[in-house]
Structure 1
Amino acid sequence: MLIHSSSLHFPFPDAPKPLSLTEVAPGVLWLRLKLPFRLDHINVYLIEDAAGWTLVDAGLGDVAGLDAWSSLLDGPLSGMPITRLIVTHHHPDHVGAAGWLSRRLNVSLYMGEAEYRIAQNILLSPSALDSEDHRRFYLDHGLDAGITSEVVAMGRKYQEMVTILPSTFCPLIPGSSIQIGKRNFVILSGGGHSAQQLMLYCPASGLFFAADQILARISPNVGVWSADPNGDPLSLYIQSLDDLKGRMPDDVLVLPGHDLPFRGLHRRVDELKDHHKSRCAVIEVACEEAPRSASELTGILFPKVQDVHQMRFAFSETLAHINTMVTSQRLRWVKAHGYPKKVMSLDPEKQ
């Protein structure tokens, strides 16, 4: 979801060109890898360490992603030993090439335990994505059977984008710290976008590696998925934004997983919170008119969705807003006449 912001400061308005590096702080390099999605890139970072460089995030592990890494390692990164790999969360654009890189470079993988376990579970149990529970999750909320089959099939593509992870890893513990070169980073974690997405904050240098938790011009996907159909990730996400705003100054340099580095953290937090508040308001108005299924509300919130890939994320985000409104008793689930069996709809709770 695009949220335009004119209140932020972008100290590096031009993204790095392919196979090139941009220094964003002393001993911190930024490079960008292509993605085959509407969000067509990911930012990865190199932090100067005692014996070389620590790499933060890995990009996709598909053929194009691995070819890009081969060109980087044989080109601009040759002579720059990578001695450690940190992956912020299990999404394929962040963890995809991690297994391949750990083997090629003979380096350890550092990752939050929950995110590592989720990635391994998906990689080692792909048949679970075809289970009846996964399909029923979408069907029960009114999604068409044909679209449901396509959405479920999209989930299986994870194995095509993520290389096999090492069987051992070094767990990063939220609340602890990690020394990278001369800098000491506090390890932070935030829910909503992913179960235990990790972020790195160096107060002394004013650097915040934000992963996907806060982005400059788009809202990161905050979604409900079939494994936790009644979860409330949006409340976790808002809490995380409040925590970040309370912990860091407004002028910290935010180094995100997508888009451009920026300053203006506090303003961006407020914009993102206002965005989700407005999404809930749209849902409430729609449900005052008539009971709605989650599928119908997806069409109202995201009328320009063009493909199954976008539909999958739009549906999950719509349900995240629904669940947080049910939790706060702004809405309630009701049986709706005329809907398929077990499909629920929404209706405002009348006080």
Structure 2
Amino acid sequence: MSDVSETTAQERPAPTLSYPFEKGPEDGQAIDIAAGVKWLRMPLGGPLGFINVWAIAEEGGWAIVDTGMGGAETMHAWRDAFDGPLRKRPATRVFVTHMHPDHVGMAGWLTRKYDVPLWMSRLEYLSCRSLSADTGREAPSDALRFYRGAGWDEDSLETYRTRFGTFGKYMHVLPDSFHRLVDGQEMMIGDHRWRVVVGSGHSPEHACLHCPDLQLMISGDQVLPRISSNVSVFPTEPEADPLSEWLASLARIKSQVGDEVLVLPAHNDPFFGLHARIDHLISGHEQGLLRLQDLLREPKRAVDCFSALFRAKITPGLLGMATGESLAHLNCLIGRGLAARETDANGVAWYRATA
């Protein structure tokens, strides 16, 4: 269940980033990133293969940042990690950057196993609880209307009905309480002070962790070196403009976090070159908006817009992600006054450029 995209088209050449580690940690192993900070990987199905997680030494054990997908395979991986590179020292607390299952999936298991608190932003915690509550439900009529309006055919809608309500199956139940992470908040984790830097767009209140002393930033999915975070509109908030939020968040992170940091992302490898990567991500999406605006010289549905935004063929397995991203770009153009939407008698939304 991936929450990042490898399909976003970006014509501008990628920036030259620096990767200080030749390879990532092997199964059951860890790499020392800085004094008291370890890099581990947890298994993850699909093309990404794994998710990076982080352990920060503090009195009595390890603060864990992100947890991997829920399930037996990841549970065994964590047991091997604590028995091996974490030297049988327990978790002291668990930090989660955001609510997607590959990040929060094992948080409930870890916090209960070690009887430690969960640290998470409020919107991420509550959104996760809300989505988990859909587990086992039938697909709501609002959601079916939403995707029908985007141009989905009946076969695609039937697939959605079949797959709806599986979010909670990828995670252990969250604890019933949490410690809130807030933008700008500073706290001691181990021997160093870390600051919370919140982004939005990929998820509601994504919490990065920045340590100026160590010149590190744990970026979660907010800034990734080789792939672009999925930024989507969902049926729960059809008028949302997450792309504008994401672009603004990236610009704000660039203004607040120095370019000297080693970025510790959830996917791919740690890298130097934060500001260049942010500029490239912003530019790529702005170019996509220009291509989309040009495509809308003739009215189009959301599913007709993939060619302007993605270089990869959109298979049925990617349809939901691609539709959400297309709608994010369309809503962004509407918010800028550059496009308009009209709904036909069948409930299908058609978009056209207005400038």
Tell me the TM-score normalised to structure 1 length.
Answer: 0.93
Matched, 1:278 2:287: yes
In the alignment, the residues of structure 1 paired with residue 87 and residue 213 of structure 2 have an alpha-carbon distance, to the nearest angstrom, of: 30
Query: Whole-Å Cα distance in 2 between the matches of residues 152 and 233 of structure 1?
Result: 25
Q: Write out aligned runs for 1:242-257 (5 A).
A: 242-257=251-266
1:225 to 217, 226, 234: 234
- How many residue pairs get matched? 346
In structure 1, how many angstroms separate the alpha carbons of the residues matched to 2:179 and 2:139?
A: 31
More displaced, 168-177 or 110-119? Answer: 168-177
Supply the distance in 1 between the matched residues of 2:241 and 2:186 (Cα, whole angstroms).
Answer: 28
Q: Could you say which residue in structure 2 is the equivalent of 1:123?
A: 132
Q: Residues of 2 paired with 1:194 and 1:294: CA distance?
A: 21
Q: 2:220 aligns with which of 211, 219, 223?
A: 211
For 1:177 and 1:308, the matched residues in 2 are separated by 43
Map of 1:327 onto structure 2: 335
- Unaligned 5+ residue runs, structure 2? none
Alignment match of 1:297 (pick from 291, 305, 313):
305
Query: Matches of 2:86 and 2:213 in 1, distance apart?
Result: 27
2:119 paired with 1:114: no
How many angstroms apart in 1 are the aligned matches of 2:295 and 2:196?
A: 41
Write the distance in 1 (CA, Å) between the matches of 2:224 and 2:59.
Answer: 30
Change in Cα spacing, 1:45 to 1:187, as seen in structure 2 (3 Å) is same
Aligned: 1:53 with 2:62: yes
| Structure 2: distance between partners of 1:278 and 1:17 | 38
Which residue identity is paired with 1:327?
G
Distance between the aligned counterparts of 2:39 and 2:123, measured in 1? 27
Q: Secondary structure at the match of 2:223?
A: coil
Structure 2 equivalent of residue 239 of structure 1:
248
User: Alpha-carbon deviation of 1:40?
Assistant: 2.0
Partner of 2:319: 311
Structure 1, residues 246-265: CA drift from partner, whole Å, max 9, x if none?
Answer: 11221211111111111111
1:191 aligns with 2:205: no
Post-superposition offset of 1:21: 0.2
**CA distance in structure 1 between the aligned counterparts of 2:40 and 2:275, rounded to whole angstroms:** 25
Question: Which amino acid letter does the alignment assign opposite residue 258 of structure 2?
Answer: P
CA contact (8 A) 2:150 2:323 kept: no
Q: Percent identity?
A: 33
Instruction: Tell me the CA shift for residue 181 of structure 1.
Output: 1.3
Moved more, 70-79 or 226-235: 70-79
Change (3 A) 1:133 1:9: same
Contact 1:294-1:345 at 8 Å conserved across structures: yes
Q: Give the drift of 1:128.
A: 5.6
Provide, for residues 167-211 of structure 1, a one-character-per-residue CA deviation record: whole Å limited to 9, x for no partner: 111111222112111111111111110000101111222111111
Matches within 5 A, 1:80-119: 80-119=89-128
Provide the rounded CA distance (Å) in 1 between the counterparts of 2:121 and 2:162: 27
Q: Decide whether the 8 Å contact of 2:185 with 2:196 is kept in 1.
A: yes
The AA in structure 1 aligned to 2:154 is A
> How far apart in 2 are the matches of 1:229 and 1:129?
19
* Residues 179 and 55 of structure 1: CA distance in aligned 2, closer, same or farther (over 3 Å): same
How far apart are 1:153 and its partner, in Å?
A: 3.9
The alpha carbon displacement at 1:310 in A equals: 1.9
Give the Cα–Cα distance (whole angstroms) in 1 for the partners of residues 265 and 163 of structure 2.
Answer: 25
Equivalent residue number for residue 349 of structure 1: 354
Question: Given residue 121 of structure 2, which amino acid in structure 1 is its aligned partner?
Answer: G
- 1:171 and 2:180 matched: yes
Aligned partners of 1:232 and 1:212: how far apart in 2?
18
